[in-house]
């Protein structure tokens, strides 16, 4: 059975169309922000899922993922027509919060929980709007299970929705919810844990909050224009909206081939071309940042090795420089091939959450994070993305991510702490990573 594809006018700006899909419920956008090859080529949009899956009370992580696997199996696979190969047509679109780790590993409960999100939420979508920003083409893609009458209704809906005139404003600046002194105390405690041999690296984050009014989709549009990134997303439910502008891929699975692209190493962009080049070179030459990067690459090699075929895990890229409007990053790539009998959800269960935003060793790092960060991470450092009905998957690391709830915007910034880290530079790095997002809205 083949997907049904209908050509549409090129969707360069997704907000107007996504606003028109709200009437169907649970609109979702996985947005490359037209950043180009190799990772910013395609964007995916949908709404009106057949069902929405969240963890049941008392259910373990593997049990939740098995229900998701069963739902995808019930939907059934589809094939692409000859000459067409898009990344997604139908399947699961949604998110996994950082706190889903509690459903996979035993963790203490110390930090305050004040943002109300499911630990995991995936809608089962039978159609999507897929845009190729390189070819500047868009399609309505329908699963073969959708009949002709429903396809026609969808086509009329997406053809007629293009106006978007909304507003958004902050009712005050973003304020840190942790004082500089409190951050310093947590930093010193991490240093003590590292010296005691508990961990080699621990990611430490702080949260910022601002009161706001208006449409969070307009906030997403403003942020998209200010900081286009290849793994962006907007997900809306009745009680919350997620606004993600991530540059980092967590896990990709295509035809059994696996990739993860950890970021470790950051510098702010320079005010002049000369300063910018100097900062990029400093990052590339910094032994501390390269050592941190290797540490996380090794952790992820181990994570992938739990579900990949023996001997298939490789590191094709190490210390690659990637530059965005606000920062330079060092990025590496770890690849593998799923072992016989393993699938994308097995990989997710063995690797979540990403090592680049926890530390090494991972479980001990997460225990220390829970002890030292005063509020739960919620969506921050979780993942957003898709799991297709053909078995493919692409998930990001939800950094540069905001949660909108009850006229509040929550935003996190963090970084990895190692033995030779300096408190002031690490604190400033948490600000550097999110400053462009704050300024775009303020």
Q: Are strands 201-214 and 408-417 parallel, antiparallel or unpaired?
A: antiparallel
Q: Are 274 and 416 in contact (CB under 8 A)?
A: no
Q: What's the pLDDT at 161?
A: 65
**Cα–Cα distance between 298 and 355 in angstroms, integer?**
10
In 404-418, which positions are buried (b, 16+ CB within 10 angstroms) versus exposed (e)? bbeeebbbbbbbbbb
* Digit-coded pLDDT (tens) for 275-298: 999 999 999 999 988 988 998 999
- pLDDT over threshold 80, residue 35: no
The pLDDT tens digits for 306-328 are 999 999 999 999 999 988 888 89
Between 265 and 365, the more confident residue is: 365
Predicted pLDDT at 37: 73
Q: What is d(CA 350, CA 303) in angstroms, rounded to the nearest whole number? A: 6
Overall average pLDDT of the 324-333 stretch: 88
Quote the CA–CA distance of 15 and 69 in Å, as a whole number: 31
pLDDT at 140 over 90: yes
Looking at residue 362, what is its pLDDT? Answer: 95
Q: What is the mean pLDDT of residues 261-275?
A: 90
**Can you read off the two tokens belonging to residue 182?**
């409190």
Share of the chain above pLDDT 90, in %: 88
- Mean pLDDT within 143-172: 89
Mean pLDDT of 373-383: 97
Name the superfamily (CATH) of residues 4-161+172-441: Anthranilate synthase (3.60.120.10)
- The catalytic residues are 248, 264
CA distance 119 to 2: 34
- Which bin fits 362, alpha (ψ -120 to 50), beta or left (φ > 0)? alpha
pLDDT at 99 over 90: yes
| Cβ contact 322:246 at 8 Å | no
What is the per-residue pLDDT for 324?
85
pLDDT digits (tens, 9 = 90+) for 219-229: 999 999 999 99
Mean pLDDT over 183-212 rounds to 96
């Amino acid at each position: 059975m083949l997907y049904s594809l209908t050509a549409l006018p090129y969707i360069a700006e997704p907000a107007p169309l996504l606003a028109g899909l709200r009437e169907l419920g649970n609109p979702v956008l996985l947005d490359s922000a037209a950043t180009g090859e190799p990772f910013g080529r395609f964007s995916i949009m949908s709404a009106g899922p057949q069902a929405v899956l969240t963890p049941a009370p008392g259910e373990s992580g593997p049990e939740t993922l098995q229900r998701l696997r069963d739902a995808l199996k019930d939907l059934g696979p589809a094939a692409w027509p000859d000459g067409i190969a898009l990344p997604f047509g139908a399947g699961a679109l949604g998110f996994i919060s950082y706190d889903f780790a509690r459903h996979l590993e035993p963790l203490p409960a110390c930090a305050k929980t004040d943002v109300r999100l499911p630990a995991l939420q995936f809608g089962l979508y039978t159609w999507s709007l897929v845009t190729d920003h390189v070819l500047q083409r868009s399609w309505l893609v329908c699963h073969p299970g959708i009949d002709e009458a429903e396809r026609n209704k969808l086509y009329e809906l997406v053809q007629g929705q293009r106006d978007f005139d909304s507003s958004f404003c902050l009712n005050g600046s973003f304020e840190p919810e942790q004082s500089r002194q409190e951050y310093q105390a947590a930093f010193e405690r991490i240093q003590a844990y590292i010296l005691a041999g508990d961990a080699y690296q621990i990611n430490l984050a702080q949260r910022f909050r601002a009161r706001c009014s208006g449409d969070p989709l307009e906030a997403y549009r403003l942020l998209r224009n200010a900081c286009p990134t290849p793994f962006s997303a907007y997900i809306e439910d009745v009680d919350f909206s997620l606004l993600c502008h991530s540059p980092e891929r967590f896990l990709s699975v295509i035809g059994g081939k696996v990739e993860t692209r950890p970021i470790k190493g950051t510098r702010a962009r320079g005010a002049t071309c000369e300063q910018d080049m100097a900062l990029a070179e400093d990052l590339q030459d910094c032994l501390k940042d390269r050592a941190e990067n290797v540490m996380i690459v090794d952790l992820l090699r181990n994570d992938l090795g739990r579900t990949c075929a023996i001997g298939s895990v490789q590191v094709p890229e190490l210390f690659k420089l990637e530059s965005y409007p606000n920062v330079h990053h060092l990025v590496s790539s770890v690849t593998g091939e799923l072992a016989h009998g393993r699938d994308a959800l097995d990989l997710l269960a063995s690797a979540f959450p990403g090592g680049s935003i926890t530390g090494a060793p991972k479980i001990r790092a997460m225990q220390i994070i829970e002890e030292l960060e005063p509020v739960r991470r919620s969506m921050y450092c979780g993942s957003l993305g898709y799991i297709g009905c053909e078995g493919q998957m692409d998930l990001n690391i939800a950094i540069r991510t905001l949660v909108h709830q009850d006229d509040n915007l929550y935003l996190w910034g963090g970084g990895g702490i190692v033995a030779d880290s300096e408190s002031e530079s690490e604190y400033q790095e948490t600000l550097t990573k999110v400053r462009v997002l704050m300024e775009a809205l303020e």
